[in-house]
Amino acid sequence: MQTYDYIVVGAGSAGAAVANRLSADPRNKVLLLEAGRASHPWSSIPIGMARLITNPAANWLYSSEPEASTNGRRLPVPRGKLLGGSSSINGMVFVRGQAQDFDTWAQMGNRGWSYTEVLPFFKRMESYAGGGDDGFRGREGPLRVTNPEPRDLLFATIIKAAAQVGIRHNPDYNGASQAGIAMSQATIAGGRRMSTAAVVECDPPCQSKAACLRAPYAPWHAMTGMEQSSAFVEGCVSEGSAPTAVVRENAS
């Protein structure tokens, strides 16, 4: 029986980042539960995305309900099922939300969400390798973001053609303005996918500050024929101000 101060369910884009931040405080004992596998051979290779988009080993393969507007069809809804979650199978395109949207939400009463207020968090999450304005871009965060050069003649020609019809080349659409044409910035560095799995995978789990278990713990997982559970969350009790989770390992 082990106890933890925090249990984070799902080691995806959000969960792995939350566990990483919580475990930065050595007083916190953090358990990160992930239903899927620790990794997949194709998940770190950018082009491997094509091999994961319909692959049940790393993808929940959800689909939408049939409805009139889809002519009765079920549309595929892929979601990552491995460490890093969907950030381990996604398209790696890096685009921030538009400043005006954040500002409109703030004006509608969503205090704290204006672009000026969220910008420090965008900056803190990234290590951006391109040029750009340091007022908008972060250089020391955990997520590496790159800006590919339009070296291929096709891309260069399209960008040039856009200029001829008045669409300017924007060297950093995640900077002061999103308008214009540009190559997609990418969560790819050194030829590898940058997923949130990296924040957990960098350290072997035992040495990591965040404990990491593959743990399909919810009963419905067993009912839908997933692998045997390796751990069960047995309960959560409140001790002082922080909840303490009680985990029983090797249960089925």
Ligand X SMILES: Cc1cc2nc3c(=O)[nH]c(=O)nc-3n(C[C@H](O)[C@H](O)[C@H](O)COP(=O)(O)OP(=O)(O)OC[C@H]3O[C@@H](n4cnc5c(N)ncnc54)[C@H](O)[C@@H]3O)c2cc1C
Binding site for ligand X (CB under 6 A): 9-15, 33-36, 53, 78-81, 85-87, 89-93, 218
Measured from the Cβ of residue 177, the count of other Cβ atoms closer than 10 Å reads 13
Tokens for 47, please give them.
């082009």
Smallest distance from ligand X to CB 20, Å: 13
User: Closest CB to ligand X among 62 and 167?
Assistant: 62
Contact 90, 50 (CB under 8 A): no
| Pick 78 or 175: Cβ nearer ligand X | 78
CA distance 81 to 155: 33
Q: CB of 164: closest distance to ligand X in angstroms? A: 28
Q: Which long-range contacts (CB under 8 A, 24 or more apart) does 169-172 make?
A: 171/130, 171/131, 171/132, 171/147, 172/130, 172/131, 172/132, 172/133, 172/136, 172/137, 172/147
Specify whether the CB–CB gap between 184 and 193 falls below 8 A. no
Question: Least distance from C-beta 58 to ligand X, angstroms?
Answer: 9
Instruction: Please tell me the distance from the alpha carbon of residue 221 to that of residue 60, in angstroms, as a whole number.
Output: 12
Q: Is 245 helix (H, G, I), strand (E, B) or coil?
A: strand
Q: Name the residue with the smallest CB distance to ligand X.
A: 12
Considering the complex, what minimum distance in angstroms separates the CB of residue 113 from ligand X?
Answer: 18
Q: What is the rounded CA–CA span in Å between residue 137 and residue 174? A: 8
For ligand X, the closer CB: 43 or 159: 43
CB nearer to ligand X: pick between 29 and 87: 87
143 three-state secondary structure? strand
CB atoms closer than 10 angstroms to residue 135 = 9
Number of continuous H segments (helices) and E segments (strands) in the chain: 7, 12
Nearer to ligand X, 14 or 118 (CB): 14
Q: Minimum Å distance from CB 182 to ligand X?
A: 15
Nearer to ligand X, 75 or 163 (CB): 75
Q: CB 5 → ligand X: shortest distance, Å?
A: 18
Minimum distance of ligand X from residue 165's CB (angstroms):
26
User: Residue 15 or residue 175: which is nearer to ligand X going by CB?
Assistant: 15
